[in-house]
Amino acid sequence: MEADLRALRERLAEVSDLYRAGGVLGWDQRVTMPPKGGEARAEALGTIGRISHELFIDDEVGSLLERLRPYEESLEYDSEDASLIRVTRHDWEKARRVPAELRAEMVRAGARGHHIWVDARATNDFEAFLPALEQNLELKRRYVECFEWDDSPYTPLLDDFEPFMKTTEVAEVFDTIKPVLSELVREAPKIDAPFLELAYAPELQREFAERILATLGFEEGAWRLDTTVHPFCTSFSTRDVRLTTRYHKRGIESLWSTLHEAGHGLYAHGIASSLERTPLAGSPSLGLNESQSRSWENLVGRSRPFWSHWYEPLQSTFPDQLEDVGFETFLAAVNRAEPGLIRVEADETTYSLHIILRFDIERQLMEGTLDPKDLPEAWNAAMLELLGVEVPSDADGVLQDVHWSSGGIGYFPTYALGNVISLQIWAVVREAIPDLDEQMEAGELEGLSNWLRDNLYSLGRKLTPKETIGRLTGTPAIDPQPYLAYLREKVSALPASA
């Protein structure tokens, strides 16, 4: 058994190394690569994707897993070795269904699509992006055909990001929150905040964000922050975390964008080092991962205790813009519920409505009830219906997100699921750390970071999403009610004007 386990770990480490090499190329493509390098990069990523896929789905991996089955059954369910064998078997059985060349083709198309999207967004040209989108959709349809499903062809794509969850289950959660969010948005008071529309020097935004990042619990020398077109976070080990953000000429929305990506980074940073170079070195689902990015962005980053400490330093950094803005006025402004065009800049109350829109559109695309060429019209109509917002351009509408350019269909629901899960976990955090508000008021965030690391991040993928939620909260179900109660309380506390 020891020899077989060692052989399995060695093979998985090689696969992990290849995935990480591809990840470095992907990060470079989106952050530092000159635009004309796109075609060569697509080929390189396709090759790495094919080789890593072939190495993982090899018959020898299946033989090792079968020989290790008795050993797995002799162990505690959540032991590291049992979890490694069980999770690898699940991943191997799923990956075996996908031909290696299809995997490579999907990677190549996603890499090419990214730069097509960047140019199309910059020039507000949906027609230029349409061929790349259609190719990605066709490849996803071929991918879906590799699997069986009983509710929607969207489910195999959802499963890539939210394992073991069905499309109908997501729809049930969204059907619960949608009418409540719509009502809250309609009833929310109008809060004018012209100071958030002023020019803020990007270099000072970065300087201030890095001051905050240094207090979150990252080990010095284990992370970096860069700029990109669409913010994201990736990691190549628990001690190599790459955060990205973007700075606008006006406003300071980059602060919350950076905190959001830092939440992803803290999750990667907190995974137990013993899980490195195995399939366990990740989060159980993107919904759980997003629960942490949303927690750090909103539950921490828009809270009264947090800004009780950080508002004066912010005023000192931007005296021309904020010197005459009172604390209560600022706090109300950054917590207002106000429909807008851009998802990544949306407030807590409207954010999940942006996700529901994308979920509905993705389902229609995969189920064949929406033609890709009709996307702008469908998008604009849904924005008007859900958020009451008229879309002035495709760059601010259907072209605003990066996901479809790389074939990331099925990803969007995890954002709103993360919102819901974040409040379930937050209730446990508050019980475990009764003086959390006092710690945040003192600018101390490592206590929160350490608790989340010890009780969530360090587990990696040892448990399924439902098992992980159940271990933390006592129930495996995704429950929207704490999330809705939180938003009701937040909106009701907003002043009539500020």
pLDDT in tens, 172-218: 999 999 999 999 999 899 999 999 999 999 999 999 999 999 999 99
- As annotated, the active-site residues are 261
- Looking at residue 285, its pLDDT comes to 97
Q: What is the pTM of this model?
A: 0.94
b/e per residue, 105-118, with b = 16+ CB within 10 A?
bbbbbbbbbbbbbb
Rounded to 5 degrees, φ, ψ at 395 are: -60, -35
Of residues 184, 196, 176, the one with CA closest to residue 494: 184
- Give the distance, in angstroms, between the CA of residue 86 and the centroid of all CA atoms in the same chain: 25
Kindly list the distances between the CA atom of residue 319 and the CA atoms of 24, 199, 233, 314, 316, in Å, as whole numbers in the listed order.
Answer: 39, 12, 31, 8, 5
Is the pLDDT reported for residue 498 higher than 50? no
Rounded to 5 degrees, φ, ψ at 244 are: -135, 160
pLDDT in tens, 382-406: 999 999 999 999 999 999 999 999 9
pLDDT in tens, 277-314: 999 999 999 999 999 999 999 999 999 999 999 999 99
- Looking at residue 229, its pLDDT comes to 85
pLDDT in tens, 336-384: 999 999 998 899 999 999 999 999 999 999 999 999 999 999 999 999 9
pLDDT in tens, 415-461: 999 999 999 999 999 999 999 999 999 999 999 999 999 999 999 99
- Looking at residue 249, its pLDDT comes to 86
Give the separation between CA 423 and CA 425, rounded to whole angstroms. Answer: 5
Radius of gyration of the chain measured on its C-alpha atoms: 22
Is the pLDDT reported for residue 497 higher than 70? no
Local confidence band at 496 (pLDDT 50, 70, 90 cut-offs) = confident
Structural domains present in the chain = 2-146 (no CATH), 167-492 (1.10.1370.30)
Q: In what order do the strands lie in the sheet with 233-237?
A: 223-227, 240-245, 233-237
Q: Provide the mean pLDDT of the chain.
A: 96
Is the pLDDT reported for residue 51 higher than 60? yes
